[in-house]
Every structure is written in structure tokens, then in C-alpha cells.
Structure 1
Amino acid sequence: MANTYTDENGKFARGNPGKPRGARNTATKAVEGLLQGEAESLTRKAIDLALEGDTVALRLCLERIAPRRKDTAVQFELPPMECAQDAAEAAQAVLQAVSDGDLTPIEASTVMSLIEQYRRTLEVTEFEMRIQALEMGR
């Protein structure tokens, strides 16, 4: 028996037989239907509860006003990287910043990932330049 997932022989249909793009869960649709037109009154109630001292409502309101930052900027001295070998100096600067307390180990790990990606980019660029120089010398 054929359905939206299989053909008349019972084989899976071609393409992606999953949910169509933009399809939403039945429960989600039901909740949205119940909340339709109530956003303003629910928001007002949450604010009133927060002002009365309800800590859960207060946290909900504050998370909407000032959501948690997922990332922060870090500032420290990082030497310029003009060739792949400069990555070693940059890595040393990151380690020094951690030991000085200017960076946390997690921040340093993120910066080191960026340095490594940039080092690879520089390395590939250097290889391309060498190949072009060799090819022009032929």
C-alpha cells in the first residue's frame, strides 16, 4: 500500500520523505491556538508577579530584557601573524595571557582555535604562492 513515504511497491519514495518544510508539531499548533491573542495579558501578568516578588517571573522578565550573553570580547596583546610560523608566537601570547590571568582557559582555547584556523589559511596561501612561483619558472 502506497503512502507519502513509499511508492506502490513499498520502496521509499525519492527525495526527502520527511515532514514538509515549515510543518509544525500538532501539540505546538494547539498551544499556539490557545495562546492566540493572549500575549499581552500574559506578559502583563508575568510583570505583575515579578514586581510582587515572584522570583521565577522575575527571572523570566529579566531574561527577556537582558538575555545572557553567549560570548564576550577578550582583549590582550596578540602579535601579528603574517606567515604560518608566526602562529607559534601568537600561541605563546595566549599562554602568557592565561598565566597572567587576562584570559580564562576556555577563552584561550577559543582564541587558539582561531589562531590555528588562521595559521592553516596562511599555510595554504604560502603553498599556493610557492606553486605559482614554480610554475612560472618552467
Structure 2
Amino acid sequence: MKKSPHPESTAKSRTKDGRWKKGASGNPSGRPVENPARRLLMANAEQLTQTAINLALAGDTTALNACLARIAPPLKGQAAPIQLEMPASGNLLDQAQRILQAATDGTIAPDIAGQLMQALSTMAKVREIDELEQRLAELERSLEK
């Protein structure tokens, strides 16, 4: 009798050709909730923290940077609010041209202009979907008559 190349513990979960049966897993317990390395670090967290502080106080710049990053994380850039007159027509082309003009005039920063253009692009897609929904509803109503 030929012996299976797979462990006996998984033989019930495999087909004759060695593939996993539908719904069966080679790891029925699933992925462990916690990584063993993380568990080891957490068990020694206080001692590791104190060592990093001691190294920083002794002049180790890498340890100092790590400690300072935890005390005062780097600030994220945040744009100041802007005032931009937009055409009341609701025409996306006119609005896009106004944004580009403001960027070239220096009224708004180029990165802010890019964000506004992205927002206009999203708005165009939303409008398109809304119009398609309305047209579809109209067609359905006309077919019901």
C-alpha cells in the first residue's frame, strides 16, 4: 500500500490527488491573533523603553530621534483656508478654468489647485451618475405606460 506524502493529520482534509477539499483548510485554527515577536517585545516594553531613554540621554542620536518622535511627532502640513470666487453657473468647465487661473495668478498654491481639480472631477462623475439614474427612471416610466 502506497503511503501518502502528506501528514496523517491533514489526510482527512485532502482529496486523493492531494488538494484541499472544499471548505477545508491546512490551518483550521486560523492565523494566530498575536505575532510571537510582538508578544516578546510587549513583555519587555518597559525595559526596552528605559534602555532607549538611557541611550538617548547618553547622546545616541538614533535613540534620541526615536524618543522625540514619540514625545512630539512631526507636524503634518495643513493648508490655510482659501477664498475663491467661483462662477455661479455651475458649469464645471468654467469652474476648472477659474481654478487654473487662480493657480497661475498665485492666488492659490498649485497643490491646492490640484486638489480642487480632483474634487471637480469627482463632482463630474457624481453628476453623470445622477443624470443617468434620472434618464433610466424616465425610460422605465415611459415603458410602463
TM range (shorter): 0.5 to 0.7
Q: CA deviation at 1:65?
A: 3.1
TM-score by length of 2: 0.59
8 Å Cα contact 1:78/1:94 also seen in 2: no
CA distance in structure 2 between the aligned counterparts of 1:123 and 1:36, rounded to whole angstroms? 52
**Distance in 1 of aligned mates of 2:53 and 2:61:** 11
Aligned equivalents of 1:63, 1:46: Cα separation in 2? 12
Please list the CA deviations of residues 74-125 of structure 1 after superposition, one character each: whole Å capped at 9, or x if unmatched. 6332738986xx33233234323433163244x5444433321221011211
Query: Residue 78 of structure 1 contacts residue 90 of structure 1 at CA under 8 Å; is this kept in 2?
Result: no
Question: 23, 36, 44: which is aligned to 2:32?
Answer: 23
Do 1:98 and 1:104's aligned partners in 2 also have CA atoms closer than 8 Å? yes
Counterpart of 2:128, as a letter, is E
Aligned partner of residue 9 in structure 1, secondary structure:
coil
Residues 96 and 117, structure 2, Cα contact 8 Å, conserved in 1? yes
Classify 1:8/1:136 alpha carbon distance in 2 versus 1 (closer, same or farther; 3 Å): closer
TM-score normalised to structure 1 length:
0.61
Q: Which residue pairs with 1:129 in the alignment?
A: 134
1:116 aligned residue: 121
Assess, with a 3 A threshold, how the Cα gap between structure 1 residues 57 and 10 changes in structure 2: closer, same or farther: same
Using the alignment, how far apart are the partners of 1:80 and 1:16 within structure 2? 61
- Kept in 1, the 8 Å contact 2:20–2:26? The answer is no
Q: Which residue is 1:14 aligned to?
A: 22
Q: Provide the secondary structure at the position in 2 that maps to 1:62.
A: helix
Distance in 2 between residues matched to 1:17 and 1:59, nearest whole Å: 45
Q: Which residue of 1 aligns with 2:45?
A: 39
Name the count of aligned residue pairs.
132
Cα distance in 2 for partners of 1:97, 1:13 equals: 63
Cross-structure match for 2:69: 63
- Largest Rg, 1 or 2: 2
Ranges in structure 1 where 5+ consecutive residues have no aligned partner: none
* 2:83 aligned with 1:79: no
Indicate the RMSD between aligned Cα atoms, in angstroms: 3.9
Q: Residues of 2 paired with 1:18 and 1:90: CA distance?
A: 57
- Structure 2 segments unaligned to the other structure (5+ residues): none
